[in-house]
């Protein structure tokens, strides 16, 4: 990934990890969305999955 103009990343703290957060109104949408884009995520490893809700 190329640097953004205002990046001030410390190479000692950056190990190439990427956080991908997928949000939706229903849990089913969130579960099935990554499957639709499997080729785009090729090579990525899922390390955690958390279900949660925000009550407004």
Let me know: does 23 contact 30? Beta carbons within 8 Å.
yes
> Positive or negative, the Cα torsion across 35, 41, 42, 47?
negative
pLDDT interval class at 12 (50, 70, 90) = confident
pLDDT interval class at 54 (50, 70, 90) = low
pLDDT interval class at 37 (50, 70, 90) = low
- What's the mean pLDDT in 28-49? 70
**Percent of the chain residues topping a pLDDT of 90:** 0
> What pLDDT does 56 receive?
42
């Amino acid at each position: 990934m190329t640097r953004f103009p205002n990046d001030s990343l410390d190479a000692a703290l950056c190990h190439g990890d990427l956080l991908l957060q997928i949000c939706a109104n229903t849990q089913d949408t969130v579960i099935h969305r990554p499957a639709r884009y499997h080729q785009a995520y090729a090579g990525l490893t899922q390390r955690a999955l958390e279900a949660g809700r925000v009550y407004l």
